[in-house]
Chains A and B, each alone.
Chain A
Amino acid sequence: MSEMVKNQSYARIRNVFFFGLVVLLSFSCRKKGCMDENATNYDADAEVADNATCTYEPFEKTQMLTNICDNYIIPAYTNFNEKNIALSNSVSGFSSNPTTDAFESLKVSWKEALLSWQQVCFLDFGPAAFVILNNQLNLHPVDTDVINNNISLGVYNLEQADNNDAKGYQALDYLLHQPGMTSEDHVTYFTTNANAMTYLTDVVENINYWSNYILSEWTGSYQESFKSNSSSESNAQGSSISNLVNGLCYHYESIIRKGKVGLPLGAFNGFSQQEMPDLVECYYHQESLPFIVESINAVNKYINGASYNTGENGLGLDDYMNYVGATQNSNSLSSVINNQIDEIIEKVGQLNDPLSNEIVVNKPAVTEAYSALQQLVPYLKVDMTSALGVMITYQDNDGD
């Protein structure tokens, strides 16, 4: 009896020992390794995170800036300038031979030029910020009284700031789509009113002046300083990355989100939040949505470092965010931003032009689109800005 108990207990001890050995072995076999997907030595088989061994490709900020500059900014501004030259040609064609066909083709040129502006409007830093290019080219709403007054007087200076809301694409929007007038009426209006024809030409010339200015600034000295000016003191104020991010955040928040949708919707209109439909972009053209969509798509391309011409993905802010491992509620920030942009496109896609009418008859849908636009603001302004170490101002700081 005692012998049997003895054997049994030996067996038990042996089993426990083997079991322990197996457990120990299986633990020691659990592979340690780098489990950060952004690392160059990311180990897909690793079971135990040993992220201190992770190594990363050094992120070449100058490469990203070069890519953004060479493959997006310069081609986009080049296209922008070409579209404005085409607009200028259409206007001279119309003034020398004012037919309905010439007028229709002028409207087409205008729309294409304005679409090309949406692709560069958010480059709101450097030479563009210096002259507040947005105010020179696309301020809305326009003041039709000032426009009509300028025309009837025949004396005006479009370079003066108080004419900013009587020039640019939105002045053309009014001049080419005057309420209650057909194409023939417009042709008659411009042929019988020499001042109006001159004003039309002058506005287009002014646009051309600015598009020429911005392109020559960028193809000239500014591009080199943009590509190299990536200061080592983090991404402090004055560095290209700080300029680029701050310009994008500002323009997106104030001009796209607020200007194109928020203001007309009434989101900023005091307590009543009464709609202000006449504040939409291209109010007289009765078509605003294509311009909103164009600007959002362009922002998307720009953030992802895509080539302007081919759409081919290059080194962009998204890669920079991935490199620093920026997350938003445990999803990668770059994908969160891209998803939000998709949602904006989808929500805006459900609306119908004219937006000024939609705001009144289908306010909930516009509000939903606005909310989608609004949600992107903290992603850009809080998450992206802090992930990229962009300082908003230039005071000393000891990390809060």
Chain B
Amino acid sequence: MMEIKRWLHKLTFSEKSIAPLIVFRILFGIMMFFSTLRFILKGWVYDLYIEPTYFFSYLGFDWVKPFDLYGTSLLFGLLLLSTIFIALGLFYRISAIVFFICFTYIELIDKTNYLNHYYFISLIAFLLMFLPANKECSLDAYFGFTAKQKKVQAWTINILKFQMGVVYVFAGISKINYAWLFEAQPLRNWLKHQTDLPIIGELMQYEFTAYLFSWGGALFDLFIVFILINNRFRVYGYALVILFHGLTAAMFPIGVFPYVMIVSTLIFFSPNFHENIIAWIQRRIVNKSQNTSKSEIKTPVKNKRVTGALLGIYIFIQLLLPVRYLAYPGDLFWTEQGYRFSWRVMLIEKAGYAQFFIHHPENGMKKRIDNKEYLTPQQEKMMSTQPDMILQFAHHLRDEYSDTLIIEPNGAKIKIKEPKVTAEVYVSLFNKGSRLFIDPKVNLSKIDRGFHHKDWILRNEK
């Protein structure tokens, strides 16, 4: 018991070189700059935040709304600016806070755009707000806005390593399922479209390749962190990181995620490695004489109990969120209850088709809804396979039709107070054929949103 306590104390409060944290800050800033720039240049600001008329908000975050064109542009401008300031280490604390708020706000606007790596970036940005990542090799330190520091408490680096570890290990654990390991799904389907890849395209025709990639991917995710923390094998581990993420980048349209991971895993390298990088940067940019002040400022003594408790809470939440799906009955891949925020990447192939109906208050007549009138193709696609979004859209329709007077083309007047909304949804999981997804009779307008089990999802009959 004492052993563990001492070990934890060492992991948290021992003094470590600040170098890994500094390099991480600089690379993170640069990477976020290019990733934000790419997002803007692709025109996605307009496509995702201006064009849609309806947004799928997260439960509890309904107040997060997109701004108009100017407001949204300002938000992205601020985001881009903050990435530069983070990389330069100028007004670092404020920049980190601005980055975290802008980035997270944008992500919270619409579930449609949820990606695990956006969530990852939000978490890292959250952590960076609390880390002294500007105490060296930064304009803040250069101008004297902050005292220089050569050492930091170990937790400031270890929490980042922990976060990386959570991403990989949970991604690995989520791959331990029958479909992934024994049917090589969904890779088996995806790889078959890859026969025209250079060099390795030939291999994609074999069933064996899909199994190789599935098992290889699972083993990689499960064990890579443990290889990276080992001094002897780290270099080989990093070679694997580059190989693995390089392959996924070549094969799938997953954007910047592979590069984010390739760069972020550098945090596992030794302080020496990072000190060399900093020395290299300083040789290039800063006059060496200005930087010889070897003032070894002691790490500020803070309340260790508070720090420890807060870290404990953060770690506990990170470990709990990915397993919350266990609280729901049914097949996770089918119902997707507790699916998000759990590092499940490239795990399922799902497609759906949803036809909504508004019912006449008195007779059995119903009106077909054309989803395209309300949703963009991407929103419609995402909504059609995810029950919480189906429910949200049904509620949106309910609100649109509540307390309305509809005059039919044939002159009939229909007064609607609160309409009954039903949906006929067909979903295909792993290309096994479309099946009815939710109870087509259930009145969705009467179902509450929430974290409770959605018993109106039908079972995935084999």
Nearest Cβ on chain B to A384's Cβ, whole angstroms: 9
Q: Is B351 in contact with A383, judged by CB distance below 8 angstroms?
A: yes
A396 to B385, CA, bound (A): 18
Nearest Cβ on chain B to A340's Cβ, whole angstroms: 12
> Is residue B409 within 8 Å, beta carbon to beta carbon, of the partner chain?
yes
> Is residue B291 within 8 Å, beta carbon to beta carbon, of the partner chain?
no
> Is residue B252 within 8 Å, beta carbon to beta carbon, of the partner chain?
yes
Nearest Cβ on chain B to A197's Cβ, whole angstroms: 36
CB-CB contacts below 8 Å: A357-400 with B? 377-379, 381-383, 385-389, 391-400
> Is residue B286 within 8 Å, beta carbon to beta carbon, of the partner chain?
no
What are the residues of chain A within 8 A of B253 when measuring CB–CB?
Answer: 233-234, 236, 391, 394, 396-397
> Is residue A26 within 8 Å, beta carbon to beta carbon, of the partner chain?
no
Q: Is B117 in contact with A398, judged by CB distance below 8 angstroms?
A: yes
Nearest Cβ on chain B to A238's Cβ, whole angstroms: 11
Q: A52-B208, A400-B385 are in contact. Are A324 and B192 (CB under 8 A)?
A: yes
Q: A57-B205, A58-B204 are in contact. Are A395 and B426 (CB under 8 A)?
A: no
Q: Chain B's interface: helix, strand, loop or mixed, by majority?
A: mixed
What are the residues of chain A within 8 A of B196 when measuring CB–CB?
Answer: 61-62, 230, 232
> Is residue B360 within 8 Å, beta carbon to beta carbon, of the partner chain?
yes
Q: A232-B197, A274-B408, A333-B433 are in contact. Are A382 and B204 (CB under 8 A)?
A: no
A325 to B184, CA, bound (A): 13
A52 to B184, CA, bound (A): 10
What are the residues of chain A within 8 A of B252 when measuring CB–CB?
Answer: 233-234, 397, 399
Contact of A55 among B113, B194, B205, B377 (CB under 8 A): B205
Nearest Cβ on chain B to A139's Cβ, whole angstroms: 18
Please encode chain B, from 355 to 381, with 1 for each CB lying within 8 Å of some chain A CB and 0 for all others.
000101000011110100000111001
Nearest Cβ on chain A to B176's Cβ, whole angstroms: 17
Q: Is A52 in contact with B211, judged by CB distance below 8 angstroms?
A: yes
Contact of A387 among B117, B189, B348, B406 (CB under 8 A): B189
Query: Total A-B pairs in contact (CB under 8 Å)?
Result: 173
Nearest Cβ on chain A to B344's Cβ, whole angstroms: 8
CB-CB contacts below 8 Å: A45-72 with B? 51-62
What are the residues of chain B within 8 A of A53 when measuring CB–CB?
Answer: 207-208
Q: Is A385 in contact with B207, judged by CB distance below 8 angstroms?
A: no
> Is residue B206 within 8 Å, beta carbon to beta carbon, of the partner chain?
yes
> Is residue A130 within 8 Å, beta carbon to beta carbon, of the partner chain?
no
> Is residue A269 within 8 Å, beta carbon to beta carbon, of the partner chain?
yes
Contact of B366 among A57, A230, A271 (CB under 8 A): A271
Could you say which of A234, A379, A397 has the most chain B C-beta atoms within 10 Å of its C-beta? Answer: A397
Q: Is A271 in contact with B360, judged by CB distance below 8 angstroms?
A: yes
Q: Is A399 in contact with B347, judged by CB distance below 8 angstroms?
A: yes
Q: A386-B428, A397-B254 are in contact. Are A271 and B434 (CB under 8 A)?
A: no
What are the residues of chain A within 8 A of B198 when measuring CB–CB?
Answer: 232
What are the residues of chain B within 8 A of A392 when measuring CB–CB?
Answer: 377-378, 381
A46 to B186, CA, bound (A): 26
> Is residue B246 within 8 Å, beta carbon to beta carbon, of the partner chain?
no
Q: Is B345 in contact with A398, judged by CB distance below 8 angstroms?
A: yes
> Is residue A326 within 8 Å, beta carbon to beta carbon, of the partner chain?
yes
Can you list 20 A-B contacts (CB < 8 A)?
A51-B207, A53-B207, A54-B207, A57-B205, A58-B202, A60-B195, A232-B196, A232-B197, A233-B252, A270-B406, A271-B406, A329-B432, A331-B433, A379-B434, A382-B427, A383-B433, A389-B190, A391-B253, A398-B254, A399-B349
Beyond known contacts A61-B196, A234-B190, A328-B433: 18 more, CB 8 A cutoff: A56-B205, A232-B250, A234-B252, A234-B253, A236-B253, A269-B409, A271-B360, A271-B366, A271-B406, A274-B409, A381-B353, A382-B434, A383-B351, A387-B189, A391-B253, A392-B381, A393-B377, A399-B347
